[in-house]
Amino acid sequence: MITKIEKLDNFGRGISYINDKICFIENALPNEEVEIEITKEKKKFIEANTINILESSINRIKPLCPYSNECGGCNISHISYEKENEFKYNKVKDLVNKIINKNIIIKDIIFDKEYDYRNKIVLHGNSKIIGQYKKLTNDIVNIDKCLLVNDKINEIINLLKNNNIEEVTIKTSNDTKQVLVDIKGEINNKDLLLSKVNVLIINNKIYSKDKSIINEIGNKKYYVSKDSFFQVNRFVTKKLYDEVLDIVKEIKPSKVLDLYCGTGTIGIYVSEYCNEIIGIDYNKSNIEDANKNKELNSCNNINFICNKVENKIDEFKDIDLIIVDPPRSGLDAHTREILKEMKSKTIIYVSCDPVTLTRDLKELNDTYNINYIKPFNMFPRTYHCESITILERR
């Protein structure tokens, strides 16, 4: 079947219409004429793969990654980087203006390197191979090099070949000088690995002197353990944090509530310009690292609470600034309601999903004006997009 592509959906798939149904097509770009193979057909939509490109877009490039058609790790690597950034900017803009029905200011997207940016990867194993899962399956694509991660991680990947590994997580510091490897399975070159890494964990047993590595953002240092969350982009993370810092410097808040604080990275980053900060996160490992990070940075004006945000948020009053950095699911209904009731002057909303962001902003817009949204391409060569939204209470 041959069809013409009209535009991209939020996941970077081409859209066309077949028999009055919307059709989502992998590896297809606007204005292309493609031959497709239907993989799923439902009452209201169709999903398909591109099997032949009859008329190619001027924005199509040959993916640098040899696994791009199999592995789900870099699903839009066939789009030029310029058009990728344009796609993400427009995705945020179109979603926000459609759902909220106002002309919200969307500032220029911030980006950096398109490859070699990740400080973390999770790979899966099957007998003697390790790699990423094939798209929508548990079949493993054996990889020798992932272009999204830094050279140090790729060096470790090749050291792990010919081992019986079920799963491995590899993390590095942003300067790539420190490495953490967490393995589930069996390896036959433990001593060699120990000479190459700072932290080695095999089946939850620590074989190294250290339990965590130290990462730096600006003038702050942070412990990163095997289970704790840390932003993966080595370059854009600082740009995002600097945006938050500039806002904090401008408003000079006395009391700050840092929700979904993770390992305390943002709160600590802005701590010099606040009197008091309270961070909340439900993940025990995150809070353990957050308290270590507090000591590491001699940060005496911040305290952390290990609990779900929705269980604790209604206990706080007289908060000048609220920073929220929720998971992709966004804010829960209770948290949204309490945020509307609180009299905080400013909310800084850090989002990793424009869809849940717009849902939350629609609710908060009853009480808060949206000053602006700034997108950040934290995940190049994927459809994901980070952003910061500044809300001011009416």
Same domain, 251 and 171: no
Domain span at residue 24 reads: 2-60
Q: Residue 129 has what pLDDT? A: 87
Tokens of 233: 């982009």
Mind listing the pLDDT tens digit for each residue in 354-394?
999 999 999 999 899 999 999 999 999 999 999 999 999 98
Question: Is residue 331 a contact partner of residue 280, using CB atoms and an 8 Å limit?
Answer: no
The span from the CA of 58 to the CA of 78, in Å, is: 11
318, with CB counted inside 10 A (0-12, 13-18, 19+), is: exposed
Q: Give the largest CA-CA distance in the chain.
A: 65
Q: Is residue 77, in this structure, part of any structural domain at all?
A: no
Mind listing the pLDDT tens digit for each residue in 259-272?
999 999 999 999 99
Mind listing the pLDDT tens digit for each residue in 274-286?
999 999 999 999 9
Q: Residue 287 has what pLDDT? A: 95
Same domain, 276 and 382: yes
Same domain, 43 and 172: no
Length of the chain: 394
Same domain, 244 and 102: yes
- Structurally, the chain folds into a number of domains equal to 3
pTM: 0.94
Nearest to residue 319, comparing CAs of 355, 357, 275? 275
Same domain, 39 and 171: no
Q: Is residue 310, in this structure, part of any structural domain at all?
A: yes
CA end-to-end span of the chain, whole Å?
A: 54
Q: Is residue 71, in this structure, part of any structural domain at all?
A: no
Where residue 187 sits, what CATH number does that domain have?
2.40.50.1070
Q: Residue 133 has what pLDDT? A: 87
Q: Is residue 325, in this structure, part of any structural domain at all?
A: yes
Mind listing the pLDDT tens digit for each residue in 106-134?
999 999 999 999 999 999 998 778 998 88
Where residue 28 sits, what CATH number does that domain have?
2.40.50.140
100 pLDDT exceeds 90? Answer: no
